[in-house]
Structure 1
């Protein structure tokens, strides 16, 4: 019986290792994970990102319009589109009311 318990424990351990490997692979294959891997290949020590971060801290003014524009876009995307109101007179068709305007 001891041999079967040892085999079951080994199977459980291998199953857990396999599941963890799958989780890691899944994280790496997301768009963000692929982008991160690509950036690490291009700049293994992260010097470019450090330089960009330092530059943005030293000169935040050029980034402000970009951030304001993105914020404005985000706010306008959430608003429903306004539909134009059509003017209709009593007993008149839409075409007739548009010709008079």
Structure 2
């Protein structure tokens, strides 16, 4: 094996290693992955999520208006936008009076 073949083989191994690491990182770099990572750093044992779930099970009524509002928002966002028509302005019809006509009226 020549030196060039060894270098090419090493480059292929490094490229494969890089692609494998990139495949593992890609899901973590999505918006949801980043949000999940931030929540895990803020609350590693997910105690806040569990406490929120328990509180909602004990008191579901305060969450009901929030859920209704979010549902309404989703429905409004999904509706197609209505075209807004500008009101038509009525114009007065004016006639152009030439200088000759002005003189004739005098």
TM tier, smaller: 0.5 to 0.7
- What residue number does 1:39 align with? 39
TM-score, normalisation: structure 2: 0.58
- What residue number does 1:83 align with? 84
RMSD: 3.1
Cα pair distance change 1:82/1:76, threshold 3 Å: farther
Higher relative contact order (CA 8 A, sep 6+): 1
- Give the number of equivalent residue pairs: 83
After the TM superposition, which segments of 4 or more aligned residues of structure 1 sit over 6 Å from their partners?
none
- What residue number does 1:72 align with? 72
TM-score, normalisation: structure 1: 0.61
Gaps of 5+ in 1: 1-7, 97-101
